[in-house]
Amino acid sequence: DSGVTQTPKHLITATGQRVTLRCSPRSGDLSVYWYQQSLDQGLQFLIQYYNGEERAKGNILERFSAQQFPDLHSELNLSSLELGDSALYFCASSDLEGAAGVGTGELFFGEGSRLTVL
């Protein structure tokens, strides 16, 4: 158990719809990362938050957005869904925090949310 919790585990929806994926990082981790993994694709970095602020953006579509709340949980919002958005969405948190860089730099992954768009 990595300590990172993602809900829901599975989600089936239709094209054009909107869904929200939720992530709770490990206790004490301030950074949350979101990744997309499509069939036979590697990990595509979407976005990172650090203590409530957006820190880095990857290949995230404009139809997607995210936020990190004061309690450090994060939500990834996917709207106007298309068939190609079907994928595993992973959340991870990091133990490398602060200007001192304390920690090992490991990312701890949740089990993912599998989104199927029909």
Partner 1 sequence: AQSVTQPDIHITVSEGASLELRCNYSYGATPYLFWYVQSPGQGLQLLLKYFSGDTLVQGIKGFEAEFKRSQSSFNLRKPSVHWSDAAEYFCAVGVLDLSYVIFNYQLIWGAGTKLIIKP
Residues at the interface with partner 1 (CB under 8 A)? 2, 31, 33, 42-43, 45, 48, 50, 55-56, 90, 92, 94, 96, 98-99, 101, 104-112, 114
Q: Give Cα 96 to chain centroid, integer Å.
A: 17
CB of 80 vs partner 1, minimal distance in Å: 27
Rounded to a whole number of angstroms, the minimum distance from the CB of residue 92 to partner 1 is: 8
Nearest to 13 by CA among 73, 78, 61, 74: 78
* Closest distance to partner 1 from the beta carbon of 16 (Å): 27
For 56-66, give one letter per residue: b (16+ CB within 10 A) or e. eeeebeeebeb
